Chain A
Amino acid sequence: MDKKILSIKNLEASVSETGEEILRGLDLEISEGETHVIMGPNGGGKSTLVNVIAGRDSYEVGSGSIKFKSENLLDMTIDERARKGIFLAFQYPSEIPGVRPWQFIKAAVDAKRKANGDSELSVREFSKIYDGNLKEINISPDLMKRSLNEGFSGGEKKRNEIFQMMMLEPNLALLDETDSGLDVDALKAVGDAVNNMRDSKRSFLIVTHYQRLLDHIKPDFVHVLINGKIVESGNYDLVKKIETDGYESFV
């Protein structure tokens, strides 16, 4: 039997500051080991959805529920969700002056291990994993001597997001337009990294505008999100339909 990892029911969410409604009764279920893709026109609510799952408090959840495994996600703080195994690769990762990537990721990995009752990794053990992952995603160690994301190119920031995902080994990874702004090599590197991490337990929810990332990562399910609702779900064939017909045919 497939085990549900994420279960969203009738989710309504709005922007806290303006009250603007974005999600209007969204349903989505993801099981362990599945890779889902969400496509849709700008302003449809794709980014809002992944940020609401991650817990960003600039959105207000009006009604509905989100269950992560069997727990109520909406009761948890942002950091609790992350320690439970949710990871968001940001569309626009923040630049953090004065904070070194190594120190940052060590703090994140330590926090997660502590929450799971695991012992803290020694600097040596941690460094080995850190260096290995950097090499795999092809980030120069010199770049990581800067402040986090400061002076990183758009592509380097995205690689750094995937690098952090590799370090944190989430159960559910949310990728928010990770492919935008990437050249072909970076796109392939991201695709390879995601494919290497796919297994029977880990799930992905990928937000994208383009088919090109999906040439590297073959999703199990594709959803079309328009005007705050999922209007169509299907398999990979749906991507081709979108490419030829556009979103208008779903409205």
Chain B
Amino acid sequence: MSYIDHYKKLIEAEFKANKNFYFMKAVAPGADYFIENGFPLKKKGNERWKYLDLRNVASSNFTKSIYEERISNDFDSVLEKLASCGINIVEDEILIVGDYENHLSGRNFIEPEGIGASSPSKTIIGEIADPEEDGFIALNAAVADITSFWIDKNFSQKALNIVFAGQSQGDRLSTERICIKIHANTEVTINEIHFDSDFNTLNIPVLEIYLDKDAKLIHNKVILGSDKDMNFNFTRVFQEEGSYYENTSFCSSPSIGSNDIKVIMAGQGSECDLRGIYFTNNKAQFNTHVTVDHLAPNCKSNQFYKGVLSDESKAVFSGKIFVERDAQKTYATQKDLNLLMSKGAEIDTKPSLEIYADDVECFHGATAGHVDESGLYYMMSRGIEKEIATQMLVRGFADEIIDSISDDKIRKFVSNKTELILPSLSFK
């Protein structure tokens, strides 16, 4: 049986069990698209995925774990892992998705003031993440576990930690869909955390975020992968006038995966700042795909990504800046810098600009290089051993991204993670 037939059966089973109000909006179109197109395996004309080898994805036949069987021991293990991030259930607002009863009224999440479940008529599912944009998003839509909520001013200045659980129960497919509507004049932090798994998993989380006028969202994304994880992570953001969106991603690569972000700047005077660091090792393949669509005038966007690649790993950065004819006075920048730690590591970095307005300022640049020999010599000439000096240089390289994370707990957590990653990198 082909993988499409396998997932088709899964989709049909879901439909039977659970035909709901999201169906017409995203689920049905996602199902149709996936059954027809499958995963984006084609090389030709497929700029986003053609550099990755998706054969393992295409030979997969995962099933979702049975909803009712996702039990609370998973909940406990997630809390334990969270404690290592300094996040605890007493002080912090935690939403665990993937566990049984992950919805907002469930026992795992005490609905704090300023957050509430979206009514079915007001959910934004499928409006920002187009189910027909990509085979992964389509499959997510077709069999999604949906969490849909809004955040308003009463939650301002606070952080919501969204943690993806349900990974401790064996091999599985996970298709979480989180839809978040941030109300006008609301300033919040969302920390999205994916722990690595001990089992073979295909994770396709999709976040859809709507920022109303003058809303401000700091979104910190932590993706920790193991050699068993396949993790294709999507974030789709829609910005109204005067809103601010910041995304800082820390990715320690799964065996194969992606950090795929698209921001639609629809309201004038809005701003987005997208940054990230990715570490890849062994034979990992990791794709960072960032698109900013400037549809309105006077908007500002920044893309700044860094990669540290070792062993025989491969990373792809494809960054796109699209400026619509009406989006005058756009200011957009893009930068992707890569450190290759070994001869076998490979980076494909491809900036792309598509500009239809005439009064804009856009800048882009990309580099790939080995550890700076003269810097290494300088440090060693002070008595610091080569390995330590190299680690300090890589650390310094990564810190430019890590230091900019405003959430103290997440910054410390990924900083400690980096300390653990550094000695495992091969410096050859």
Whether the Cβ atoms of B400 and A111 lie closer than 8 Å is no
Given the contacts A96-B396, A99-B393, A54 and B381 also touching, CB distance less than 8 Å: yes
Assess the A88–B388 pair: CB atoms within 8 A. no
| Residues of chain B contacted by A129 (CB below 8 angstroms) | none
By the criterion of a CB under 8 Å from any partner CB, how many residues of chain B are at the interface? 25
Choice from B373, B379, B385, B398 contacting A104 with Cβ under 8 Å: B379
Number of A-B contacts defined by CB within 8 Å: 84
CB pair B396–A94 under 8 Å, yes or no, is no
Interface pair A82/B386, CB less than 8 Å apart? no
25 contacts between A and B (CB under 8 A): A78-B380, A79-B380, A81-B381, A82-B380, A82-B381, A82-B382, A82-B384, A88-B381, A90-B381, A94-B372, A94-B374, A94-B378, A95-B375, A96-B378, A96-B379, A96-B392, A97-B396, A97-B400, A99-B392, A99-B393, A104-B379, A104-B384, A105-B382, A107-B382, A108-B383
B364 at the interface (CB under 8 A from A): no
List residues of chain B with CB within 8 A of the CB of A168.
382-383
A55-B380, A57-B377, A98-B403 given. 11 additional CB < 8 A pairs? A79-B381, A82-B380, A82-B382, A88-B381, A90-B378, A94-B374, A96-B378, A96-B393, A99-B395, A104-B392, A107-B384
Listed in ascending order, the chain B residues whose CB lies under 8 Å from chain A are 372-375, 377-386, 388-389, 392-393, 395-400, 403
Cβ–Cβ < 8 Å partners of B378 in chain A = 90, 93-94, 96
Residues from chain A with Cβ under 8 Å of B392 in the complex: 96, 99, 103-104, 107
Interface residues of B, dominant DSSP: helix
- A115 at interface (Cβ–Cβ under 8 A)? yes
Cβ A79 vs Cβ B396 within 8 A: no
Closest Cβ of chain A to B425, distance in Å, is 16
Inter-subunit contact B400/A112 (CB<8 Å): no
From B387, which residue of chain A is reached at the shortest CB distance?
A: A79
Residues of chain B lying within 8 A (CB to CB) of residue A171: none
The docked-state distance in angstroms from the alpha carbon of A168 to that of B384 is: 12
Which of B373, B374, B386, B396 sits near A99, CB closer than 8 Å?
Answer: B396
The answer, yes or no, to whether A77 is at the interface (CB within 8 Å) is: yes
Least CB distance from B323 to A in Å reads 30
Shortest Cβ distance from A105 into B: residue: B382
Other-chain residue from A56, A96, A103, A115 in contact with B383 (beta carbon distance below 8 A): A115
B415 to chain A, nearest CB (A): 12
Let me know if A65 is at the binding interface, CB within 8 A.
Answer: no
Contacts known (A77-B386, A79-B380, A82-B381); A94 close to B375, Cβ less than 8 A: yes
Taken together as a complex, chains A and B put the C-alpha atoms of A108 and B372 apart, in Å, by: 19
Q: Are B383 and A82 within 8 A (Cβ)?
A: yes
Specify which chain A residues have a CB less than 8 angstroms from the CB of B377 in the assembled complex: 56-57, 78, 94
Q: In the complex, are the beta carbons of A108 and B396 less than 8 A apart?
A: no
Chain A residues within an 8 Å CB radius of B389 = 79
